[in-house]
Amino acid sequence: MHNTKLINFCRDYAVLILILILMIILTLSSDAFLTPRNLLNILNQNAPLAIIACALTLVIIVGGFDLSTGAIFAVSSVTSAWIAINFNPYIGLLIAPIIGIILGYLNGIIITSFKVHSFLSTIATSLVFRGLAILITGGFLIPVRMKEFTWLGREKIFEVHVAVYILIVFAILSTFILTRTTIGRYIFAIGGNEDASVLSGIKVNFVKIFAFSFCGLAAGIAAAIQVSRISLGTSQAGIGMELQAIAAVILGGTSIYGGSGAVWRSIAGVMLLALINNGFNILNADPFYKDNTTFIITTDHGRGTTPLKTWRSHGRDIKGADEVWLIAFGANVNTLGEVKHDEQLYSNQIAPTILNILNTKIDTKTMKGADLKITNP
């Protein structure tokens, strides 16, 4: 009897047990893991994915799949950035969830009206939505350098990012809908037995449209957070995010066949994936790269900043195009923080710098550039 209870407990709370075991291992392996800064960083970085996973839980419980959340994320983010530049940054942030609801609603209408399985229909709509994102951007990036726009993804309240608070509120809302409302009970009923639900008088189509619209809303909110955080709208945003969200929901214990699941399980699934990724990062686990990698990131020229529309151009007549930046970090790099120098740098200095890092002799006859001296002697 006791063994049966233990087995059932381990089965029901397997994801939490795995998280606990992983946290113990990482804590013993690295002093950097169990720190407030690292744990809050994990929550902040994974907040957009967790928000999508919360809403996707409803879709999977009702017996559906949504493979278009990544594309909805992209359309919402580029639309947000475009509106911010051309009209108002606050309206730009607000428009992302609205776009998400509209596209999610469209998914629901297509699935219920044409009786197409959600797996196939959302694959098709994801291609259309991704194409729409490319059309909006024209194939270019859309940078947004406005404090009124970046606060959502970067600001903190009591040392906790705003994105984490949004995740908490959205998780509570999702849980409330699923466990304390009539439509939540209908979601479980339809996922358990759709035919019986129809005979019981449940408006199956309405419930499915609601679930997909809610999932679109989540993708829009996540997009607003992410585009605000990176200050950049790109049509490539959200690629693969739908698969990560589905993996997290299923890993958390929500049935792939529908009819059972919980929002907290999906969040736990996201956190498990996040902890695994974070563990690899802080442990620097790959022996091929461990303590043996140096990164140099720079640009070949600057871009215009004043007025902002000149960001697509460069040249002698473009203000700001003569300003470049260089980031270096990794093995043997001097840790200096942010350093500003009013000096002339040349692209032919990069190659000698790389050769110096590799301890390779520099042929001064063919390489005229000077080493940038970024590594320890």
How far apart CA 369 and CA 349 sit, in angstroms, is 4
By C-alpha distance, which of 45, 9, 46, 7 is closest to 248?
Answer: 46
In which residue ranges of the chain is pLDDT below 70?
1-3, 283-291, 301-316, 320-322, 340-343, 376-377
- pLDDT number for residue 77: 96
Any bridge partners for residue 296, and if so which? Answer: 328
Are the CB atoms for 140 and 312 separated by under 8 Å?
yes
Any bridge partners for residue 326, and if so which? Answer: 298
What domains are there in the chain, each with its CATH number?
2-283 (1.10.3470), 286-377 (no CATH)
pTM value? Answer: 0.80
Look up residue 347 and give its DSSP letter: G
Copy the structure tokens of residue 253.
């214990």
By C-alpha distance, which of 230, 87, 216 is closest to 150?
Answer: 230
- pLDDT number for residue 42: 92
| E strand spans, the chain | 142-143, 156-157, 160-161, 232-233, 294-298, 326-330
- pLDDT number for residue 303: 65
By C-alpha distance, which of 259, 264, 266 is closest to 188?
Answer: 259
Helix (H, G, I), strand (E, B) or coil at 144: coil
How far apart CA 30 and CA 41 sit, in angstroms, is 16
Copy the structure tokens of residue 375.
């590594």
How far apart CA 52 and CA 49 sit, in angstroms, is 5
Are the CB atoms for 125 and 111 separated by under 8 Å?
no
How far apart CA 104 and CA 111 sit, in angstroms, is 11
How far apart CA 333 and CA 358 sit, in angstroms, is 12
How far apart CA 60 and CA 105 sit, in angstroms, is 16
Are the CB atoms for 240 and 132 separated by under 8 Å?
no
- pLDDT number for residue 218: 98
